[in-house]
Structures are given as structure tokens and as C-alpha cells.
A = this chain, B = another copy of it.
């Protein structure tokens, strides 16, 4: 006999949990997080409302799981692209594609925070994974220019980079890459370029290409 693996009950549980999340994402895509309703999900699943409490302790618990999955997904996406040899330009495109595939998922992580709500600790750990990849990617290309005041400032504030040996200039590049990408992308997804007809992808290309210009 090989070792057990998940029992059929466990597999069933995992499956139903996944279906619940699936419908939750659909609701969020349609009307945003505030409109997410346990009862509505249950109805779509063809079960009664209270049944969901077998799978999630409460509404907040479900939302937290979704947030965790979203972080996990983007971290894996970025990591995979990096391992596949993607440079900064390619990484930016990968992130943009990931975000446009489900804008509300992007906003769930990087959008308007709910005052008072604090994400669980492990999600910040996952977001550090993303930064770690970016730092690696930014370290690939040599730093040329002289140290800026912010570089110097970063020398004294680099605990967040963990044990990464990258010089401050590299951390600076990683931050610039990330904030520039987010700047264009979040405005694009929010529709703030709606009237303007230019291609935000081109702007992103040049913004990230000019990182540490």
C-alpha cells in the first residue's frame, strides 16, 4: 500500500471550498467586494446559506482566503516568469496581464484599503516574495549612476529586503519598478485613461525601461 493521501472526504471538502471561492470571485468581479454575500453564493451553489459555515468560519474568513490566494497567485506568476528568464520589461507585461485578467482581484490586494482591516501576517510574507523576485531581477543589470539621496536613505532602511545582499541602488530600482508599474496599471484598470485613447502598455514599457535612468 502506498501512503494514504487525502481521504475522499478531504478531497470533497477541498473541492467544495474551491467552488465557493470560484463563485465568490465571480461576485466580486461583478460588483466588487462589498457585494460579496454568503447567502448569494450558497444559492448559486444550490445549497442553503448555513451550509457554507462548514467551509468558512464566517464572511471575513472567506475574504481572507481570497486575499491569500490572490497574493499567492501573483507571487507564483512573477516567480515563474523570472525563473523562465523574463527581464524587467517582460515581468511588467506578465503582471499587467495577470491584473487585466481579473481587475478586481488586483484591487483586492492593491486597491483601496478598508480602514481598520488588517491583512493576516502571512500575506505580507507572500508580498515580500514578490519583492524578492523584483530585487533579483533588478540586480541582474549593473547599476551605473551615482548614489542618490534615496539610495543613501535606503542603506539605513533595508530590513524589509530580508537577508538580501543587494546594494541599496538595486532596492531602489525594485521599488521604482514596482511603483511605476502600479501607478500606470491601477489607473488603467480603474478606467482613468478611459477618455484618452493611448495604449497604457506602451507607457508602462517606457516607464520600466527608464527605471534608474
Task: Tell me, in angstroms, the Cα distance from A186 to B29 when the chains sit together.
Answer: 21
Once A104-B115, A115-B30 are accepted as A-B contacts, the answer to whether A149 and B186 lie under 8 Å apart by CB is no
Interface string of A26-37 (1 = CB under 8 A from B): 000111101000
Q: Is A207 an interface residue (CB 8 A)?
A: yes
A: contact size bracket = 35 or more
Q: Is A84 an interface residue (CB 8 A)?
A: no
Q: Is A205 an interface residue (CB 8 A)?
A: yes
Task: Tell me, in angstroms, the Cα distance from A124 to B29 when the chains sit together.
Answer: 24
Of A11-19, A135-143, A191-199, which stretch is located at the interface? A191-199
Task: Tell me, in angstroms, the Cα distance from A32 to B113 when the chains sit together.
Answer: 8
A residues with CB within 8 A of B: 29-32, 34, 104, 107, 110-116, 124, 127-128, 148-150, 153-154, 157, 159-160, 175-176, 178-184, 186-187, 189-192, 194-199, 202-203, 205-207, 210, 213
